[in-house]
Every structure is written in C-alpha cells, then in structure tokens.
Amino acid sequence: MRIGIGYDVHKLVEGRDLIIGGVKIPHEKGLLGHSDADVLTHAIMDALLGAAALGDIGTHFPDTAAEYKDVDSLVLLKEVKKMLKERSYKIINIDGVIIAQEPKMKPHIPAMRKVLCEVLNLQEDQINIKATTEEGLGFTGSKEGISSQVAVLIDKRF
C-alpha cells in the first residue's frame, strides 16, 4: 500500500464560477486559475500522483499549456485515474478537507462525493469530504481564497 497527500489553493475573484469537487456552487466569486481551479479535485490528483510516485499535476498538466486553459478538472482527474490503472494501482480511499470561510460547503458535499465516485469508479464509502473554516484567520478566513488538503491510499491490483 502507498499513501499520498495533496494540497491546493486558489484565490477568490469575481467573474469566475466556483467549482469544487466537480460541483458548481452558487457564490458571487469563483476561484482564479489556469483551469477551472477546482481546489478539491486538484488536491486529489496531487495526492494520487504522489502516492504512485508520478510527480504532481503541474508536471502532467502545466499551467503554461494552452490545452489546459479553463479545462474541467474532472477531465484531468480521469487522466490521472488512467495513469494509475496503467501501473496497476487501485484507489483504496480518499479523505479530503476543504478550507473556506464561505460559502458553506456542507450542503454541497453529497453532490461532490457522487461526482467523484462516478469519475473514479469508487463506492461512496471510499471517499470522505469534510469542510472547515479557519475562524476568520489567514487568507481563507479573510475570504481571499479557498484551499483543500487530501490524503489517499492506493494499492497494487493482484
């Protein structure tokens, strides 16, 4: 078995959709990034790539590449899933946390889990997502951005 961790952060700005875990969340601001800036999905990808010793998302999907401009992060997650499958890895579980002062994530977590389970072909009990605030502290607490941290466990298929 192999463990991986992932972390991602993006700045909140006006004029962008807020996409987290593949779900569009109603909010007056969205996350700034080369892709759709889905912090949870990015952290999941980094954790999976790290567990398989395959580098990080910047290595595979650089923010300087035009083909990834405004790309749906779920498309990239499918590519990471394919990389794992090619190396005979299976995902055991994913545990993630979204750090945001607002909007409240809890109402959207069931939809995120459903989307991620479909993309990764996992059962609901293999993906856990939590959300927290930072009680007004730091860049997330001051509503400047949103971050996510993820841990994953993978294993070889036998």
148 is in an annotated binding site: no
41 is in an annotated binding site: no
133 is in an annotated binding site: yes
35 is in an annotated binding site: yes
DSSP 79: H
57 is in an annotated binding site: yes
Tell me the C-alpha distance between 5 and 130, whole Å. 15
42 is in an annotated binding site: yes
70 is in an annotated binding site: no
154 is in an annotated binding site: no
60 is in an annotated binding site: no
Q: At what angle do helices 39-51 and 73-86 cross, to 10 degrees?
A: 10
Rg (C-alpha) for the chain, rounded Å, is 15
Contacts of 15 (CB under 8 A, 6+ apart): 30
23 is in an annotated binding site: no
56 is in an annotated binding site: yes
58 is in an annotated binding site: yes
For residue 16, CA distances in Å to 12, 28, 70 come to 9, 9, 10
Contacts of 16 (CB under 8 A, 6+ apart): 29, 30, 31, 32, 37
Instruction: Classify strands 127-132 and 89-99 as parallel, antiparallel or unpaired.
Output: parallel
Binding residues for a divalent metal cation, as ranges, are 8, 10, 42
Binding residues, as ranges, are 8-10, 34-35, 42, 56-58, 132-135, 139
